[in-house]
Amino acid sequence: MSAAKATRALRVSEVFVSVQGEGASAGTPSVFVRLQGCSVGCAWCDTKYSWDPGHGRATTLERLLAEVAAAFGGARVELADGRALTWYGPRIPAALAGFRDLLGVGP
Ligand code: SF4
């Protein structure tokens, strides 16, 4: 990862360890990274605190990866919240590459 990519700011709502409750990975301990900023507005959303792109906390990809590594208690990293993937789209490939390195798996 280049130094420029590692130091650019992004906003994170929360990072926490839990058990995946959905899909084929249900029951798997995971680190959840919820990015801040979503404009979709789903009526059923249970994480409305993640909507405002000005809330959450600023971090860098480098610090985020260190935080995930410190919290890493499971076999999976879940990158959560829809619109944030649009806001941070250009940085997502670098984040995924960093998570793959943490997990020791190939692309
Ligand atoms: S995409 Fe996800 S975070 Fe965004 S409003 Fe819908 S449920 Fe909430």
pLDDT, tens digit (0-9, with 9 covering 90-100), for 1-34: 444 444 456 889 999 999 998 888 899 899 999 9
Higher pLDDT, 2 or 76: 76
pTM for this predicted structure: 0.78
Per-residue pLDDT for 91 more than 50?
A: yes
12, 34, 38, 48: which to mutate for ligand 1, most atoms within 8 A of CB?
A: 38
Domains of the chain and any CATH numbers: 3-103 (3.20.20.70)
Chain position carrying tokens 């890493």: 72
pLDDT of residue 60: 86
Which of 42, 85, 87 has the most ligand 1 atoms within 8 A of CB, as the residue to mutate? 42
